Homo-oligomer: A and B are copies of this chain.
């Protein structure tokens, strides 16, 4: 702990005021004596019982009113189906972006026709329900030359095998693509110029069998893993299936992945678990998954020559088309030498690539080391063709010792590693509840300083991912690590049996890591990326009045002021209206029971922050109409009555008068 001279002086001259310091559980855990010293800061420090470390953390994390954070952390909301944006170092939640789940406030999936269509098209179809949730795990910022470009976010859905695209212009979701032939994923990454988003499946499925079904007893033969190379149209913010391809993989659980760069360019790496091909059956007399999938010592790091695979995918004789996607079958994968395995410690959680692309870090969670693989050694071993054998599907397995560069002992339950701009790695240890800092080898550090654990900080509790600005790209910024901790236990006042998860901000700018702050989460902040606030290029209003956020063009149903009208066409009544502080035009809509009513509202304002709402009573409609935007809702007026509508945003002093009436006359 550091102390300040001013504080010591303050402490020396004070006395008389008893102070309680509240600990977990609300108990008073310490009593200190203090009184005014004449120095306002020291007085506050004394009054609030802050330690010198805590006072420093306060000053390091506070972002004064009206000033901006240094970084924005783009974080997944996990099974909340959203993306969260936090400011760093304040750790204030700046925004939540609805993606797979509706958000009534933002009108996403809440009566708005276009977002309803995105959610519907992004579901599985074939009679299965429209999904209003997803398990959003790994938001990725698009890349140009291997660095963040601040244009798009791609976000995969572990629960469903989907990828959503969010624009960083308006931070709204533009599309959700259900990936054919894979029903789950865990992770997706952009290639260095965002040509592709590469997504692997987690759970193998019998995707190519009749009805997509095969008994679980036929798992090894008929179930398959998939990795998808999804062509990304960065103008439209959409996936182009016709230019995408898939590679069939053995039925292991393919997990996190990373795309090569520099010496590893053209290669794609996926780690895996359950090479035992266990399928559970605990009520049928078999061991549960957790036991059966932990029998062997090693799983396989997948090394895919994806540039070569892209060429093979163009050859119709070597591929098949399944559910509209071009697939390279596993037999072709083996025949064309597209895939190699490298043994990796059992059940790894992450495969991470150093900034220059020379080394891969893998941590098997049952092994207290980080295993560092040399890309050069892997390439040499492939070239030499000296394998330790093949897996049951014929995939060659490289020799572990041929590929390994270093082992660093970090502690129990190592999961993921991130990198700073000073040649250091930081690994999360789930069981130890620590973050361990270690040094990279050449060219980052000379051999004598390489591959050493140099610092450790305790976190609270059960850290999963951790993140640092720009880690796993060509351009890390360092400065901070955020620990994304699964359990908070006693870190917050009890607010029911569902406890928040805990985000901990760690200062990595000095030689020793310093824990700065705790922030509770809503949702599951699975993983994140951090981008300097200067790189953001978001719109503050839409670029023109009558803008369609989904197509990012002028809306066909936009209405300008003075052009408002109500049009009846058979049983459909279309309201082409405008919103403007502080009224709707029209503010009376008269229909008959059974009519379909379509509301097209254009917010004709151009002032920043002048968002208006359209809440329709009794109906499941709340639109959020940003300045310049046109939004559409449609209802069927099934029941006669009087249904007021009103602006759900408190937009002006005359907000309470910002109302209208939908009058539904009974059919005689």
Contacts and interface: CB of A to CB of B under 8 A. Distances in A.
A354 interface: no
B66 A23 contact: yes
Nearest to A586: B283
A499 interface: yes
Given A290-B657, A430-B653, A641-B212, A587 B624 contact: no
A486 B650 contact: yes
Instruction: Describe A's contact surface by its main secondary structure.
Output: loop
Contacts of A212: 640-642
Interface string A73-108: 000011111000101000111111000111111100
A574 interface: no
Contact of A160 (B169, B498, B618, B666): B618
Given A44-B60, A129-B619, A653 B497 contact: no
Nearest to A9: B6
Nearest to A661: B216
A496 interface: yes
Contacts of A613: 79
Nearest to A648: B79
Given A65-B517, A67-B21, A533-B26, A496 B622 contact: no
A323 to B, nearest CB: 12
Interface string A113-132: 00000000000101111111
A273 interface: yes
Interface string A208-225: 001111111000000100
A343 interface: no
B214 A659 contact: no
Given A41-B59, A183-B643, A290 B582 contact: yes
Contacts of A160: 617-618
Interface string A129-155: 111111100000000000000000000
Interface stretch (A240-248, A329-337, A369-377, A538-546): A538-546
A423 interface: no
Contacts of A460: 65-66
A492 interface: yes
B564 A283 contact: yes
Contacts of A44: 56, 59-60
A72 B26 CA distance: 13
A170 interface: yes
Interface stretch (A383-391, A399-407, A519-527): A519-527
Contacts of A517: 62, 65
Given A40-B52, A159-B622, 4 more contacts: A94-B492, A203-B644, A213-B664, A486-B650
12 contacts: A41-B56, A41-B59, A57-B65, A61-B62, A80-B104, A95-B500, A101-B102, A102-B132, A274-B657, A494-B539, A495-B538, A526-B650
